[in-house]
Amino acid sequence: MIFKKERKAAFSLNIETEIPLPELMVAQGGGTDVSIVHDSSVIQEFCEQSSDPEEFVINKSEVLFLEKDLAVFSIEGGRLIRVGMLRDSKLDQVRLFLLGTCMGIILMQRSQLTLHGSVVWYQGKTIAFTGNSGAGKSTLAASYLKKGAMLISDDLIPVKINSKGEVIVIPAYAQQKLWTKSLSTLEMDQSKYLPLFDRKTKFAVPCEDKFTKEEKKLDIIIEVIKTEHIPFCEITEVINLEKLPLVARQTYRGFLVPYIQTPQWHFQYASAIAEKVSMWQLKRPDDEDTFSQVQQLIDTVLEGGEINDSSKMVLTKEG
């Protein structure tokens, strides 16, 4: 496959790429921060260094990994991504890993902490929804876009600490990824969007008109947990030292931190975030019928609603 080089921009980086990334904006001037190139030799490099094809190979300034039946990726020094595409590789799937795992590692190599979630700017506040895959973080972000919010980033949330000690969120690009069930919950027409996979269970949802390219100060993190063990929705404020493990849980590809950076680096970042950002933990049943109640709880927090002595709000399905 031969493609024309393109210059794109995302995560405050200018990216020169040999693999089409139509989701990204065209770069406006400046140099090149990150290069993405085809390089079949990376396949042999991975085979020579790997004892287990399911594990990451981590060298001093390089991370290699294999995505089965798709490609081998090498991420080097925060500046270069090499892609060795396997037979019958599909570009749409390669792009998912370039803009997900690969960019997450690039940012970590560049000493940039990245959280896993979706972040929006709504009524003057920047709200990050974090959580495991399927918890509902992108769905919640999309629901606030329908209420007038602006998307800052989906999936990866890169943050930095400015000279005032404030936590600043760096914009990514104008697209969300939503499951079929999420589109149904939000009453969005699935036929308008392109599937990310052949099985058509997750879709690319462009949102150019609901995206902000401005960096924003992070105000609130809401960790979303879906569980079978409670019959109601519950939101609890996370305070003091409890904030540090929340940041650790929600660090994107956090298992790589000791190999690419240091625990001290992560602790310093987490401490700065804990000092400046309000944090909440939202537990919800594994039931889409509770989605409106979840929104009610979050709206109460955003509006500064009263909470009881245990810093907890509970709303049953009956409301």
Instruction: Decide the pairing of beta strands 194-195 and 167-169.
Output: unpaired
Instruction: Look at the alpha carbons of 95, 161, 129, 67 in this order and tell me if their dihedral is positive or negative.
Output: positive
Q: Which residue has the higher pLDDT, 3 or 72?
A: 72
Write the pLDDT tens digit of every residue in 11-63: 999 999 999 999 999 998 889 999 999 999 999 999 999 999 999 999 989 99
Write the pLDDT tens digit of every residue in 272-293: 999 999 999 999 887 666 777 8
- Angstrom distances, CA of residue 117 to CA of 44, 68, 137, 222, 249: 34, 25, 6, 10, 11
- In terms of Cα–Cα distance, which of 150, 154, 160 is closest to 121? 150
- Tell me if 33 sits within 8 A of 50, measured CB to CB: no
What average pLDDT does the segment 126-142 reach? 91
Q: Which residue is it, tokens 């602790």?
A: 267
- Count the helices and strands in the chain (H runs, E runs): 9, 20
Say if domain 113-315 classifies as CATH 3.30.450.20: no
- CA-CA distance, 16 to 18, in Å (whole number)? 7
- In terms of Cα–Cα distance, which of 147, 136, 215 is closest to 178? 136
Instruction: Decide the pairing of beta strands 220-227 and 278-285.
Output: parallel
pLDDT band at 296 (very low <50, low <70, confident <90, very high): confident
- For the cut 90, the answer to whether the pLDDT of residue 6 exceeds it is yes
- In terms of Cα–Cα distance, which of 8, 16, 18 is closest to 32? 16
Q: Among 106-120, 141-155, 182-196, 246-260, name the one with the lowest average pLDDT.
A: 182-196
- Tell me if 156 sits within 8 A of 104, measured CB to CB: yes
* pTM for the structure as a whole: 0.91
